[in-house]
Amino acid sequence: MARIVVLDADFCKPGECSKECIRFCPIVRTGAEAIKYEPGMDRPLVAENLCTGCGICVKKCPFGALNIVNLPDELEEVCVHRYGPNTFKLYRLPIPKEGVVVGLLGPNGAGKSTSLKILSGEMMPNLGLYDCPPDWKSILRFFRGSELQEYFKKLSEKKLRVVTKPQYIDQAPKRLTGTVRQLLERIDERHALDEVSSYLSLESIMDKDIHTLSGGELQRVAIAAVSVRKADVYIFDEPSSYLDVYQRMAMAKLVQSLADEKKYVIVAEHDLAVLDYISEQVCLFYGKPGVYGIVSKPHGVRVGINIYLNGYIPDENIRFRTSPIRFHLSPTPTEWRSEDVMLRWGHFRISRGDFVLDAQGGEIHRGEVVGIVGPNGTGKTTFVRVLAGELLPEGGSPINFGLRISYKPQYVVPSPTKTLREILNSIDPGLLSTQWFIDEIYAPLEIEPLLDRSMESMSGGELQRTAVAVCLSRDAELYLLDEPTAHLDVEHRLVVARAIRRVTEKKGVASFVVEHDIVANDLLSDTVMVFGGSPGRSGVASAPVGLRKGMNYFLKNLGITFRRDPETGRPRVNKKDSWLDRYQKEIGEYYYTEVTGEDKQ
């Protein structure tokens, strides 16, 4: 068995403990330096060739910094990259194909970004030999006989020009100046700016300064900046972040048009509906995040996503999830009783600068989750802030009637002084030992490794899980969560959706959730509020309606139809103008193919 030992420098604190891992290691006690630490090192180093995998050091480490994993020896033959001793290992790589959009699907920390850096030529794969990296001749010999050999041959000879849309786009304005138009005109090598601008609806922001753009606007500009370049390989890392459903579908069509020109196109994406729509093939990533990642062979997009949800790869005989993820084939309308009403509000209007939101009256019940859907800039966050009491509608009276509110805002600002443990203890000193909290929040959201971390050191996904955990931990009657799955990988999106669903039902409370991921929305919502209007100018909010009726109305405005996968029950986007797309539009069923009395709900 091959052995992977990872000792995380972010968690290891050798100055704060008595080197428990060294003291108790049975190999060290025999005189061999299985674990050594010298002054000036940020962490001890473990000699993997001496480590027996007994696990004593893992149990003795007070900070949970150590991971030891045994893997089959044959995997070592396909090790593609390792950053250094006792660090993350990547096995195998995705296989790009000309004229095909290849999607990457898997949890954060499993090697997707590392793979993209290697395929873009940003770094060379070291084949696990971090202390003596191989040259291109050795790398090509390693991949001999595979489809990657030809790709790397072109890359090594600089015959491939690669452009990449990075995962995090918030740093871009620090390196750029001028308006959106000036930026894109400078790099418009394909003379496709008008076409790309039309796809991404950039006309209204073309004359904005790059430093004044919102997250969604900045994401669309970053996608446009890649798309107007002349390249052989186009790489998009999480292109749907910050985008609403309308913009995600438009982005997907643009990316597909690049593949039509016989280019390599690779997309790492966490929104299952978008990934399903945009890709023709997918490569799955599995393993232990932060420790090792394994890349599967390519699969057709439907089969690949279903394999991921099932947690079992038949052609490799590998199970990486204990139980499959399933979706309800049809939402069952709930008969709410009048005594279950948690909050009832009348029609109200609120103005913020030049923007006006008109909200119809409605009600929410105990145990009900209302999903809020609609384009960016139509007042979804404004509506939630009115419910939270942060904004007052015209007339000056709050509409939450004194309910206990727990609110997770759209943008999470990390506490500069408190850890997650301190925040949870301030909510309830006994919370961390409460079985309900452990079962519903602590274990599913995997927050144990984050308890004593500085919040400023957390990634976007870790910060989001922390914010959701804190929100759901408060004693409240009404929970308000604005985009709780942003920055999360597929696994955690589905976990968060189910956690919100369970907490709402078990506590007998009510929740409003703003969500752009239709698959997550399908899992958590009983009813939906559909927002429309003119983005940035006016918004109109409907009353909550049944999930089927609301999603039909919402998707009709989008001009797209969804069907249900017969194996997993997940929503799938129909290809535009396909037979099923035309048929469902003809019968007015944009969300389901079955026509029943439920659409009257």
Domain boundary, last residue among 27, 48, 71: 71
Residue 76 confidence class, pLDDT cut points 50, 70, 90: confident
Residues across the chain: 601
Q: What are the phi and psi torsion angles at 500 (to 5°)?
A: -60, -45
351, 455: one domain: yes
Out of 71, 91, 120, pick the residue that ends a domain.
Answer: 71
Task: Check whether 546 has a pLDDT greater than 50.
Answer: yes
Reported in sequence order, the residue ranges of 500-578 that DSSP labels E, i.e. its strands, are 510-514, 527-534, 538-541, 545-546, 562-564, 571-573
- 598 and 510, same structural domain? no
Percent share of the chain, pLDDT over 70: 95
CB 286 within 8 A of CB 490: no
How high is the mean pLDDT of the chain? 86
Task: Please report the pLDDT score of residue 601 as a whole number.
Answer: 38
Q: Are residues 478 and 418 in the same domain?
A: yes
Q: Where is the domain boundary, 48, 71, 94?
A: 71
pLDDT value at residue 173? 67
Asked which of 264-273, 318-327, 429-438 is least confident by mean pLDDT, the reply is 318-327
User: Is 457 inside a domain boundary?
Assistant: yes
> Could you tell me if 218 and 242 are in contact, meaning their C-beta atoms sit under 8 angstroms apart?
yes
Q: Which tens digits make up the pLDDT trace of 137-168?
A: 999 999 998 899 999 999 999 999 999 998 77
Contact 496, 519 (CB under 8 A): no
| Within-domain flag for 395 | yes
pLDDT at 337: 73
CA neighbor of 509 nearest in space, from 471, 544, 483, 541: 471
Whether residue 502 is found in the same domain as residue 384: yes
pLDDT of residue 573: 86
Region label for 134, one of left (φ > 0), alpha (ψ between -120 and 50) or beta (otherwise): beta
Residue 493, pLDDT above cutoff 80: yes
More confident residue, 328 or 95: 95
Percent of the chain at pLDDT > 90 equals 36
What is the arithmetic mean of pLDDT over 371-392? 89
Q: 7 versus 173: which is more confidently predicted?
A: 7
Is 389 in the same domain as 447?
yes
Mean pLDDT comparison of 507-511, 531-535, 568-572, highest-scoring range: 507-511
Q: What is the mean pLDDT of residues 12-29?
A: 82
Per-residue confidence at 597, pLDDT binned at 50, 70, 90? very low
Do 575 and 498 lie in a common domain?
no
Write the pLDDT tens digit of every residue in 225-256: 999 999 999 999 989 888 888 888 889 999 99
Number of domains making up the chain: 3
Q: Would you say residue 66 has pLDDT above 70?
A: yes
- Does residue 372 belong to any structural domain of this protein? yes
Q: How far apart are CA 62 and CA 20, in angstroms?
A: 8
Do 426 and 570 have their domain in common?
no
How far apart CA 298 and CA 318 sit, in angstroms, is 15
Looking at residues 505-531, what average pLDDT do you find? Answer: 89
Its domain, for residue 564, covers 559-601
Residue 53 placed within a domain: yes
Mean pLDDT of 60-87: 83
Residue-wise burial string across 199-235, b where 16 or more C-beta atoms lie within 10 A, e elsewhere? bbebeebbebebeebebbbbbbbbbbbbbbbebbbbb
Per-residue exposure over 156-185, b if at least 16 CB sit within 10 Å of its own CB, e if not:
beeebebbbbebebeebeeeeeeebbebbe
Domain identity same for 531 and 578 = no
Residue 22's CATH number: 3.30.70.20
Instruction: Report, as an integer, the average pLDDT of 435-444.
Output: 88
Look-up: residue for tokens 């194909």? 97
Query: Would strands 369-373 and 510-514 be described as parallel, antiparallel, or unpaired?
Result: parallel
* Span 277-300, average pLDDT: 92
Residues 539 and 563 in one domain: no
Q: Which residue's structure tokens are 């069907």? A: 563
The mean pLDDT of 496-525, rounded to a whole number, is 90
600: DSSP letter: G
Burial class (CB in 10 A: 0-12, 13-18, 19+), 122: exposed
By C-alpha distance, which of 529, 501, 520 is closest to 387? Answer: 529
In this prediction, residues 279-297 reach a mean pLDDT of 92
Most confident of 9-23, 135-149, 334-348, 536-550: 135-149
Say which DSSP state 298 is in: P
User: Between residues 184 and 70, which one has the greater pLDDT?
Assistant: 184
Closest CA to 228 of 238, 220, 237: 220
Instruction: Say yes or no: 503 and 588 in one domain.
Output: no
In a domain, 104, yes or no: no
In a domain, 139, yes or no: no
Identify whether residues 404 and 516 lie together within a single domain. yes
Query: Residue 396: pLDDT above 80?
Result: no
Q: Are residues 483 and 362 in the same domain?
A: yes
**pLDDT (0 to 100) of residue 171:** 65
Instruction: Give DSSP secondary structure letters for 105-119.
Output: E--TTSSHHHHHHHH
CATH of the domain at 431: 3.40.50.300
- pLDDT for residue 595: 38
Residue 307 · residue 313 · CB < 8 Å: yes
- Residues 308 and 565: beta-carbon distance below 8 Å: no
pLDDT of 73 reads: 66
